[in-house]
Amino acid sequence: MMNPMDMTGRRVMVSGASSGLGRATAIQLSQLGAQLVLVARNHDRLEETRSLLAGDGHHIIERDLGTEIDAIPKWMKQVTETTGPLHGLVHSAGVVSMLPLRVLSLAKLNELMDINFNSAVLLTKGFRQRGVVAAPGSIVMLSSIAGLIGQRGLSAYCASKGALMALTRSLALELAEEKIRINCVAPGLVETEMASKHEGELPDEKFAQLEQGHPLGLGKPEDVANAVSFLLADSARWITGSTLVVDGGYLANGV
């Protein structure tokens, strides 16, 4: 029986692949047969991710996507000269910072937007280049339900994740004629290192309230990886410009 999520023969770049959702996604895609191009800042942690992958032919690329953002398209050209063209791109790299408006500076705002949003734009621009993409191609952005709701002290983060969803809707129209699909996944609170950091920034009662707002409990990285893989593969060949919410019922709970 044919598996519509089979990724055999596909090559996928995953940013933020050194931990959390990026690592879980890379592992899942390798188990579906894909070859991975793993991108993150920490070489040792990228090697850890590669050691967990199924199959072979995987590559690791050490790069900070929050710097020299204008050079990303050129860099992607150089990368694919070694790895071969990409069939997919998953942008999982991102940061979350508790930045109440009273302490939010332009420098901090720009730093957060560079990593969470601006790099996504330039990665997409780089992906669509001739010789980089093996059309039909597919892109999945890791957004967050924070882009759909308000959260005290996280206005900059919420804005960056909401911007990813708006970007996805617009680029879906622009890229369709190039046979490239683009979608978003918006997770709720998932048990990752980033979530643990967020927990440490909140009073215990506030984090408990946030946790209780998920009727199905907190998510696992694999829950999000499954959604990303679905959108990336031919199983979602007629889906573009969409945001798939994977939040354990948080939004339905009306929190």
Determine contact, residues 64/111, Cβ cutoff 8 Å.
no
For residues 66 and 251, give the distance between their C-alpha atoms in angstroms, rounded to a whole number: 30
pTM above 0.85, yes or no: yes
161 three-state secondary structure: helix
For residues 50 and 120, give the distance between their C-alpha atoms in angstroms, rounded to a whole number: 23
180 three-state secondary structure: strand
Does the active-site annotation cover 250? no
Q: Which of 148, 155, 147, 161 is nearest to 102 (CA)?
A: 155
CATH of 11-244, one of 3.30.60.50, 3.40.50.970, 1.10.40.50, 3.40.50.720: 3.40.50.720
Q: Give, in degrees to the nearest 5, the angle at Cα 110 between 167 and 193.
A: 80
Element (H, E) at 186: strand 180-187
Instruction: Per residue of the chain (255 residues), give pLDDT as tens.
Output: 689 999 999 999 999 999 999 999 999 999 999 999 999 999 999 999 999 999 999 999 999 999 999 999 999 999 999 999 999 999 999 888 888 888 889 999 999 999 999 999 999 999 999 999 999 999 999 999 999 998 888 899 999 999 999 999 999 999 999 999 999 999 999 987 655 555 555 556 666 677 778 889 899 999 999 999 999 999 999 999 999 999 999 999 875
Q: Which of 55, 44, 139 is nearest to 90 (CA)?
A: 139
Cis amide leading into 136 (omega within 30): yes
For residues 184 and 218, give the distance between their C-alpha atoms in angstroms, rounded to a whole number: 20
Residue 197: predicted pLDDT: 57
Q: Which of 177, 183, 78 is nearest to 124 (CA)?
A: 183
Residue 206: predicted pLDDT: 64
Determine contact, residues 223/195, Cβ cutoff 8 Å.
no
Q: Which two tokens stand for residue 81?
A: 């000269």
Query: Of the listed 157, 160, 164, 214, which one is catalytic?
Result: 157
Number of H helices, E strands in the chain: 9, 7
Residue 223: predicted pLDDT: 97
For residues 98 and 37, give the distance between their C-alpha atoms in angstroms, rounded to a whole number: 31
Sequence ranges of the domains in the chain: 11-244
Q: Where are the beta strands (DSSP E) in 151-247?
A: 180-187, 243-246
What distance separates the 2 farthest-apart alpha carbons in the chain?
Answer: 58
Residue 190: predicted pLDDT: 92
Q: Which of 170, 110, 164 is nearest to 142 (CA)?
A: 164
Q: Which of 3, 1, 42, 5 is nearest to 20 (CA)?
A: 42
